[in-house]
Amino acid sequence: MPFVAVSDFNLVRAARQHDLHAWDSLLHRHQLPLYSYAAGLLHDETVALDIVQETFAAAVGHLDGLRDDAKFAPWLFGIAHQKCVQHWRRIRRDADVFAATDEPPSDWPDNDGVDPCAVLLRQEQADELFALVAQLPAPQRSALLLHVLEDFSLEEIAGITDAPLGTVKSRLHHAKRALRQLLEIHR
């Protein structure tokens, strides 16, 4: 029998009926991207594990809060994102990392060159790439990671980060432009 990937939609349906295998599959398929997102955003792998643990617990305990079964991944990452923001607020009470004060909404089409997220990279480029991503402002890093890791749409990223669509466009545009410049240096 050929392997057929079961969609999140079907797994969520089964999970609502207390199907443990469905839960396991759902969490397993998203656990590494989720952890990568939290670790990339917070620069702290221990805290990232805590975020994943709390996100899993919240997802299992509050599945009733998910309105659209096909939107499990954005919902899950939305929980994780909120927990990252809460963590920031705990350690930096005076800073709102995701304040969009210096990011006017953008209508720029993102067609000014190749998509750096789609380019195949050499292993030697990886370290420089990670260093660049780590230097991006948190909102840009967040948008880029969500776009790269789970291929979320702009609307989904806006929902996850609770930001206006134009702001998300702007953040992703800046992040991609920085990546593109790095790739051109290495060309």
Partner 1 sequence: MNKSLRELILARHDSATPRLDELRWAALPAAPPTKGAFLRELFAPHRVAWRALAAVWIALLVFNLTVGSPGRAGRLPAPPPAAFAAWLAAANSHDVPVQTDFAP
- Report the alpha-carbon distance of residue 58 to residue 18 in Å, rounded: 15
Q: Considering only residues 6, 121, 165, 182, which one is a binding residue for partner 1 as defined by CB under 8 A?
A: 121
Do residues 70 and 153 make contact, with C-beta atoms less than 8 angstroms apart?
Answer: no
Q: Considering only residues 91, 119, 131, 134, which one is a binding residue for partner 1 as defined by CB under 8 A?
A: 119
Stretch of 5-13, 98-106, 142-150, 153-161 lying at the interface with partner 1 (CB under 8 A)? 142-150
Site string for partner 1, 13-52 (x = CB under 8 A): -----x-x--xx--xx--xxx-xx--xx----x--xx--x
Asked if residue 60 binds partner 1 (CB under 8 A), the reply is: yes
b/e 134-150 (16+ beta carbons within 10 angstroms → b): eebebbbbbbbbbbbbb
Do residues 130 and 47 make contact, with C-beta atoms less than 8 angstroms apart?
Answer: no
- Using the minimum distance from each CB to partner 1, give the nearer residue, 9 or 130: 130
Both structure tokens of 162? 């609770």
* C-alpha dihedral (142, 143, 145, 147), degrees to nearest 10: 160
- Considering CB under 8 A, how many residues would be counted as binding partner 1? 37
Do residues 158 and 164 make contact, with C-beta atoms less than 8 angstroms apart?
Answer: yes
Residue with tokens 């780590």: 134
Asked if residue 86 binds partner 1 (CB under 8 A), the reply is: no
Q: Considering only residues 70, 91, 114, 126, which one is a binding residue for partner 1 as defined by CB under 8 A?
A: 126
Contact residues for partner 1 (CB under 8 A)? Answer: 18, 20, 23-24, 27-28, 31-33, 35-36, 39-40, 45, 48-49, 52-53, 56-57, 59-60, 116-123, 126, 129-130, 145, 148-149, 179
